[in-house]
Amino acid sequence: MIRFGIAGFGLHAVRRLMPGFALAQNCKVTALSRRDMKKAAEAAAQYQIPHIFASTEELARCPEVDAVLVTTPNSIHLADVLTSVAARKPVLCEKPMGLNAEECHRMMEAAREADVPLGVAQVFRFEESTARIRDLIAEGKIGKPLFARAEFSYPGQHHARTWLYDRALSGGGPIADVGVHCIDALRFILGDEVVRVNTVGRSDSESGDVESVAAITLEFQHGTLATVMVSTRAQYRTPLEFVGDQAVLRADDGLNVERPIRLELWREGSLAAEETVSNRLAYANQVDAFAANIELGKPFPAPAEQGWKNQLILDAAYRSLSSGRMETVPSS
């Protein structure tokens, strides 16, 4: 049983992580940290978490913590990961892994020197929907993938995570926040790497110094063209679609964890097959998989290298947003 400490226990921990831990088989939460100790104590009482701390450093030194789950604002990820690996604790870091690829590389080097596992919480790699879509494409059900589309929107006005509208803390708007999920899901499903990106985005009077809506075109190494569309101004939606030279595979809200997902295979304009899958165990699967990596040495599906590769693409997307040109993703 791996004992996790959650650094930066906030809205994400309440909405997603703790329900996931409640379903997990081989791990539990024994500590949390939060700057507001009153709120930390309230959360600890609500979830029966025995240890509370005001800093990640204190949490990482706790002997009742086997691994640290970093959920602080993006700008603090680097410091929290370095602090935790210095204490020889394995770390699962929330996405995006850092503010830029250089930060991610520093985390990877520190974890390597400390000889501790470092993973990134790209939770959609643990969904049944993405696994099934990946398998169907690998089996050739759509033929050669020509186009792919991933969208992620949610209503972000008056969001509790106010730091999302401060680029210095977040690294960007919905491109960094949820676009990274779309990019990672496409890379994972296609088993391919992005070589070039082009980005168009818009901000508004409520989005601070970050974008509120954006469209990203991705060119994959093996020829697939993809679009990622993200927004904090539309209702929650996460459709996925893959168009091949033989068929089309789609899932409305394919990245959703809250309700069953219907996968549809369309061929020659008709529905050829359909099935329903559930993503309710995604967060549980993620922490159980990291626990298995720590205890048994089993490969973790989202190692730090994947977070770094995603960040290289995010960096290129923001360069494109600024330059107005297509930008190349450095080879990793």
Do 48 and 142 have their domain in common?
no
List, for residues 231-255, the tens digit of each pLDDT value. 999 999 999 999 999 999 999 999 9
Do 77 and 221 have their domain in common?
no
Above 80 in pLDDT, residue 332? no
List, for residues 205-218, the tens digit of each pLDDT value. 887 889 999 999 99
Q: Amino acid identity, residue 102?
A: E
Tell me the pairing of strands 67-70 and 91-94. parallel
What pLDDT sits at residue 224? Answer: 98
Do 112 and 192 have their domain in common?
no
Do 269 and 258 have their domain in common?
yes
CATH number at residue 178: 3.30.360.10
Q: Are 190 and 148 in contact (CB under 8 A)?
A: yes
Q: Is 330 left (phi over 0), alpha (psi -120 to 50) or beta?
A: beta
Give the predicted TM-score (pTM) of the model: 0.95
Q: What letter does residue 237 receive in the DSSP assignment?
A: B
Q: Are 208 and 166 in contact (CB under 8 A)?
A: yes
What pLDDT sits at residue 157? Answer: 78
Domain residues for 12? Answer: 2-123+283-302
Do 30 and 53 have their domain in common?
yes
Do 94 and 119 have their domain in common?
yes
CATH number at residue 32: 3.40.50.720
What pLDDT sits at residue 205? Answer: 83
Do 199 and 214 have their domain in common?
yes
Query: In this structure, is residue 131 part of a structural domain?
Result: yes
135-166 CB burial, b ≥16 within 10 A, e <16: ebbeeebbeebbebbbbbbbebeeeeeebbbe
Query: In this structure, is residue 86 part of a structural domain?
Result: yes
Token pair, residue 100, equals 């830029």
Residues near 209 by Cβ (< 8 Å), separated by ≥ 6?
165, 166, 167, 203
Q: What are the start-end ranges of the H helices in the chain?
A: 11-12, 18-23, 37-47, 56-61, 77-86, 101-114, 128-138, 167-170, 174, 180-190, 282-296, 304-323
Distance CA 17, CA 13 (A): 5
Do 101 and 137 have their domain in common?
no
Which residue is listed with tokens 């977070």? 307
Give the chain's domain count: 2
List, for residues 14-35, the tens digit of each pLDDT value. 999 999 999 999 999 999 999 9
Q: Are 93 and 81 in contact (CB under 8 A)?
A: yes
List, for residues 109-128, the tens digit of each pLDDT value. 999 999 999 999 999 999 99
Do 17 and 93 have their domain in common?
yes
Token pair, residue 18, equals 């703790």
Do 83 and 229 have their domain in common?
no
What pLDDT sits at residue 96? Answer: 97
| Cis peptide, bond prior to residue 96, ω within 30 of zero | yes
Distance CA 309, CA 330 (A): 9
What pLDDT sits at residue 2? Answer: 98
What pLDDT sits at residue 70? Answer: 98
List, for residues 143-187, the tens digit of each pLDDT value. 999 999 999 999 977 777 777 788 888 889 999 999 999 999 999
Distance CA 168, CA 164 (A): 9
Distance CA 290, CA 285 (A): 9
Do 93 and 174 have their domain in common?
no
Do 287 and 163 have their domain in common?
no
Query: In this structure, is residue 164 part of a structural domain?
Result: yes
What pLDDT sits at residue 158? Answer: 73
Query: In this structure, is residue 307 part of a structural domain?
Result: no
